[in-house]
Amino acid sequence: MSVSLFWAKGQGYCRRKASILFFKRPFVIRTQRPLISFSFDDFPESALRTGGAILKHFGLAGTYYASLGLMGKDTATGRIFGPADLGVVCEQGHELGCHTFSHCHAWDTATRAFEEAIIDNRSALHDLLPGVEFQTFSYPISGPRPLTKLRAAEHFLCCRGGGQKFNVGTTDLNNLSAYFLEKTRHRIELVKDLIDHNRQALGWLIFATHDISDNPTPYGCVPGFFEEVVRYAVASGANILPVVEALKALRSARM
Ligand SMILES: [Zn+2]
């Protein structure tokens, strides 16, 4: 391993640890029935048109984390949603979540600029869909720097990161774990194992991905794979809800 690669890996490890360790909002998951959420970051048109159609086929809804500054643009995750798609998300019973206005890197962006991008995204949503509010958030590109995590927490019921695992026991509402499907899109058995473990542990498994298309970007997956994951999730007996609804279900289960 070269010195620079070694240094980059060490730095990545330290950042991940810092994202996890500081400014937690502990939340104990206690439920009789496991939960699963499906979320899409950015979100490309195909996440709604193809991914949303698959969820709808099973009578389910997901969470769409939108950066309104990316609207209509061609990006590394495909063509991003247009203004009309925001209304469609709400009409179809999905959740609209925040992903900052301009898709700010959660570690590299200064905390003040990051928080402004949260506020800008909210303002842009108010202009297009008055009365609709973002309630949950996902960090773009990276885990958050600690102060950014602290500031973001003030705006949302919960914030989601990555980590390739499900949430169980005491979790952190300021940095919920998620499993990015594209990272194992050629190994469905790993995803099925995870769903099985989530069922046994009575946890909350949040899936994330980007585009759902026959020719996906490196950040998305094909419809057949996504559909198989959804079918297996349904068969597991989990309660499958958008992120904000899953959180509410967990809160009421504890009362
Ligand atoms: Zn993103």
Rg of the chain on CA atoms, in Å? 17
Query: Ligand 1 centroid vs 43 CA: distance in angstroms?
Result: 8
How far is C-alpha 162 from the geometric centre of its chain's CA atoms?
8
- pLDDT higher than 70, residue 5: no
Query: Ligand 1 centroid vs 70 CA: distance in angstroms?
Result: 10
Query: Ligand 1 centroid vs 161 CA: distance in angstroms?
Result: 11
pLDDT of residue 7: 61
Domain boundaries, the chain: 3-253
Query: Ligand 1 centroid vs 24 CA: distance in angstroms?
Result: 22
Query: Ligand 1 centroid vs 228 CA: distance in angstroms?
Result: 24
- pLDDT higher than 80, residue 248: yes
- pLDDT higher than 90, residue 255: no
Query: Ligand 1 centroid vs 254 CA: distance in angstroms?
Result: 32
* Region 85-113 average pLDDT: 97
* Dihedral pair phi/psi, residue 126, rounded to 5°: -60, -35
pLDDT of residue 16: 77
Query: Ligand 1 centroid vs 28 CA: distance in angstroms?
Result: 27
Query: Ligand 1 centroid vs 102 CA: distance in angstroms?
Result: 10
* Region 144-167 average pLDDT: 96
Token code pair at residue 71: 């609207």
Question: What's the burial of 17, exposed, middle or buried (CB within 10 Å: 0-12/13-18/19+)?
Answer: exposed
Query: Ligand 1 centroid vs 227 CA: distance in angstroms?
Result: 22
Query: Ligand 1 centroid vs 76 CA: distance in angstroms?
Result: 10
pLDDT classification of 163: cutoffs 50, 70, 90:
very high
- CB distance 53 to 93 below 8 Å: no
Query: Ligand 1 centroid vs 200 CA: distance in angstroms?
Result: 30
Question: Can you give the pTM of this predicted structure?
Answer: 0.94
Q: 3-253, superfamily in CATH?
A: Glycoside hydrolase/deacetylase (3.20.20.370)
pLDDT classification of 61: cutoffs 50, 70, 90:
very high
Burial profile 143-167: b = 16 or more Cβ within 10 angstroms, e = fewer: bbbbebbbbbbebbbbbbbbbeebb
